[in-house]
Amino acid sequence: MNHDITALSAADLLAMPLSRPERLFTGDPDQARREFRTLVAHWHPDRCSHPEATAVFQHLNRLYEAAERKLRDGVWQTPGLLNLRGNDGTRYQISYLREREFELGQLFIGPETVTWLMEKPHADLFQNGLDAISRLRFADERMAAQLQPGLPEIAARFETADRLALVMRKAPDLLLLSDVLAHFNGRMDARQVAWIISSLLNLVCYLDYAKLAHNAILTDAVFISPPRHSSALLGGWWYAVRQGQPMRAAPALTVQYAPFDVINCKCGDIRTDLELVRVVGRALLGDVSGARLARDKAAPPAMLDWLCLPASGAPLQEYQTWQGQVLKASFGERRFVRLDVSVNDLY
């Protein structure tokens, strides 16, 4: 906050969104009250001759009401630091590098955590995500060692007065895939897209083993590790259901690209996840619909054919075809291709 708050102009104050009173007030109730009183004394229409004094005065009152509400509810955000108070009185300080909106609330990407804040009207989906994550099981320690890094690990879950919070652990080198795509201006090299698809297909094989349909394998749910050529499916678990069970909800892209009969019956089906891996691949190449990819020569023909043909219902067979036929026909012998992007580049 500016030390001399009375030096802020009318334009500065009116530009402050009601959703972010943290930009004006200090996150201490007593100090925020003193700041508010100083400001309204300075901008009161009976004392201030500025032509926008009334508008500023009214906006200050609304900003302070928003600040009081956030302080009361235990949701106070300053740049790089999220302060939350649980309903049990526990206080949480969460460092973050980037804040993003997602369809159910806010996402905070930190150095070693990912925090999802959801509005309470989505409590059923929040609980559905917790239930789905709790059902993740492994046949043995070898499977766990291979797959756990690509699946969510819950560090904390709690409620504030008006939010539901889920904090997941995250490896420091993991980057949100949609952020990586934006960094490369909406189009990535086909060789890089290929290893991301390989990693996601591996995760879909596991989902099939677990008899789950994730239903939201999209660029804003997937994190990737460029140095390790691996993926982690940390988002979207609120949409996951057991295969054959009714779906509670689905993102717009899922509804658009899932098999018609799946959407018609609204049941979990592993084919949806296989189709969404293709959606991710096409999106990373620059055209989620796939209509322009061949014309733009965005990838070798064998890869484009696979990305644009309907998925089968057999993840293991899809993975074997992709590895043994599509990649070999597209790029020849397998080799590591460096992806030059890091946390420092994005955040």
The answer to whether position 122 is within a domain reads yes
Q: Is residue 72 part of a domain?
A: no
Question: For residue range 298-342, what is the model confidence (pLDDT) as tens digits?
Answer: 999 999 999 999 998 899 999 999 999 999 999 998 888 889 999
Mean pLDDT, the chain, integer: 93
Does residue 85 carry a pLDDT above 90? no
Q: What is the pLDDT of residue 136?
A: 96
| Residue 21 and residue 90 in one domain | no
DSSP reduced 3-state for 278: helix
Q: Is the pLDDT reported for residue 190 higher than 90? A: yes
CATH assignment of the domain containing 90: 3.30.200
Contact status, residue 109 vs residue 100, Cβ threshold 8 Å = yes
- 170/219 Cα distance (integer angstroms): 16
Looking at the fold, whether 182 and 215 belong to one and the same domain comes out as yes
Residues 298 and 259 both lie in one domain: yes
pLDDT confidence band for 154 (50 / 70 / 90): very high
| Overall number of domains in the chain | 3
> Which of 15-24, 137-146, 223-232, 309-318 comes out lowest in average pLDDT?
15-24
Query: Which residues are bridge partners to 181 per DSSP?
Result: none
pTM (2 d.p.): 0.82
Looking at the structure, tell me whether residues 112 and 39 fall in a common domain.
no
Q: Note whether 147 and 181 are same-domain residues.
A: no
Residue 225 and residue 311 share a domain: yes
Q: What is the DSSP string of 30-97?
A: HHHHHHHHHHHHHH-TTT---TTHHHHHHHHHHHHHHHHHHHHHTEEEETTEEEEE-TTS-EEEEE-S
Flag whether 286 is in a domain.
yes
**Residue 2 pLDDT > 50, yes or no?**
no
- In which domain, by residue range, is 241 found? 175-346
Single out the residue in 136, 169, 202 at which a domain terminates: 169
What confidence tier does 82 reach under pLDDT thresholds 50, 70, 90?
confident
Say whether both 135 and 184 belong to one domain.
no
- pLDDT, residue 3, reads 53
Residues 191, 295, single domain; the answer is yes
Task: Average the pLDDT over 6-19 and give the result.
Answer: 91
* Shared-domain flag, residues 113 and 33: no
User: Which CATH number covers residue 194?
Assistant: 1.10.510.10
DSSP secondary structure of 170-237: --TT-EEHHHHHHHTTT---HHHHHHHHHHHHHHHHHHHHTTEE----STTTEEEETTTTEEEE-S-G
103-117, 146-160, 229-243, 331-345: least confidently modelled range: 331-345
Q: Residue 109: which pLDDT band, with cuts at 50, 70 and 90?
A: very high
- Report residue 334 as tokens: 């397998």
46-77 pLDDT tens trace: 999 999 999 999 999 999 999 998 888 777 87
Q: Provide the residue type at 323 as one letter.
A: Q
